[in-house]
Amino acid sequence: MASFKDPSFQDRVAAAGNARHKALAQLKAKPAPDAAELAAKREAWEAEQLRLAAERTAKREAAARLKAEKAARKAADLEAAKAAAELKAARLKPASPEEMKAARDARYAARKARK
């Protein structure tokens, strides 16, 4: 059975230091990116950002248009309901005695004409 102190603290610190040095050496060995390649990547990124911004703008405009259409439909529905309520109120309004007599005479004449 291995002892608790195996590997020792110094061994672990040394191993971590060696790993750090090895990673740094690999990073330094990697060739630096070409300026033209970086510029091309930057242009591609900017083009993508412009496309995304255009999509967001189009979505916002579509949402605003939909909201305006919905508001117009709601206003039209309210206007129609108001007109229907006014018509119903006009029908329920009590008629003057002259109007009632004229309506009764018209019904009587229609009944006589049917016979």
Average pLDDT over residues 62-77: 95
Q: Which amino acid is at 77?
A: D
Query: What share of the chain has pLDDT > 70, as a percent?
Result: 94
- Mean confidence (pLDDT) of the chain: 90
Extents of the domains making up the chain: 60-115
Q: How far is CA 53 from CA 15, 26, 48, 50, 113, in A?
A: 49, 39, 9, 5, 76
Read off the pLDDT band of 1 (50, 70, 90). Answer: low
Report pLDDT for 96.
Answer: 82
Report pLDDT for 2.
Answer: 59
Average pLDDT over residues 50-72: 97
Average pLDDT over residues 77-99: 83
Average pLDDT over residues 83-108: 83
Read off the pLDDT band of 75 (50, 70, 90). Answer: very high
- Residue 95 near residue 103, CB atoms below 8 Å: yes
